[in-house]
Amino acid sequence: MELQALLAQPVVLPSQPRAVALLMSELGQAEPSLRRLNQFFGTDPALAARLLQEANSPAFGAEGRISGIPEALVLLAPAQLRTLVRSAPLGASSRTVPGVNLQQFWRYSLNTAKLARSFAGLVQQSQIAAYTAGLLHGLGELALHLADPERMQSINTLMAPLDPRRAKLELRLLGYTYAQVSAELARQWQLPEVVVDALRYHNAPFDNNDSEPLAGVLHLAAWRARARAAGLGERELAVSFPGKVGITLGLDMDMVLQQDPIDWKARPDAGDYV
């Protein structure tokens, strides 16, 4: 499927039933806690995307300026948030997105967001925008699997969706990658350019002369999270470390490995909030 044809289709991205339930419970309170709302929205890529899309809509006059969940929550009233969350489609079964383990995907996205926020702090980039980019960057993979499940299933037989080499394989077989799909979705949602560029260029952050440093931050975060998901050992980590990106940002491999806020021993379905 051509990229433009894929983007012309409506995309229905599933949310975690647990996140939806927690949000509806909090929004049912007389005075919902912004801190808890931020935590719960910050665990779910699809819900975060819906929230940011709404906050960047013309209704609030802030198109292209709201890059993070805390900013968006200030704009929307509790009634609007309830409507947004109540209408979210749920990822209730393994068949929701054929070929994708949603529990693994949600956990990976959250881990990448946390790592991106941590790296951004080290290199004086926006931690809020970095967290958003990390949380949303994989949504293009879901969109690809929903739009063309048979083709993506055949690609999955060659390489798993979260394999660190996945983008290169998609580029060779499709002519584009999940990163471009994620970026175009974010552009349609009128998210800030700094986030859109980070999503678009994170697989090759310094191949573009005008690339955003945040793309390099996201590149390192995604590498770290995917390497862990793939179970890479010390030697494999050393061989695969994106040294050019690290040098450009002033981060060596030890620094990248030390900035690791993830409890890798936690149960896969354990609640893990920001």
Q: Are residues 151 and 237 in the same domain?
A: yes
* In a domain? residue 4: no
Assess whether pLDDT exceeds 50 at residue 265: no
Q: Which residues pair with 166 in a beta bridge?
A: none
For residue 94, what are its two tokens? 């393994």
Structural domain boundaries, residue 27 = 17-86
Query: Per-residue pLDDT tens for 189-224?
Result: 999 999 999 999 999 998 766 667 999 999 999 999
Rounded to 5 degrees, what are φ and ψ at 206? -120, 20
The dihedral sign for the CA sequence 109, 115, 116, 118: positive
Q: Are residues 107 and 46 in the same domain?
A: no
Domain count of the chain? 2
* In a domain? residue 225: yes
* In a domain? residue 7: no
pTM: 0.92
Q: Are residues 124 and 254 in the same domain?
A: yes
Q: Are residues 69 and 127 in the same domain?
A: no
Dist CA 73 CA 79 (whole Å):
12
Q: Are residues 120 and 244 in the same domain?
A: yes
Confidence of residue 232 (pLDDT cuts 50, 70, 90): confident
CA angle, 137 as apex, 77 and 119 as ends, to 5°? Answer: 95
Q: What is the pLDDT of residue 210?
A: 61
Q: Are residues 177 and 251 in the same domain?
A: yes
* In a domain? residue 270: no
Q: Are residues 59 and 174 in the same domain?
A: no
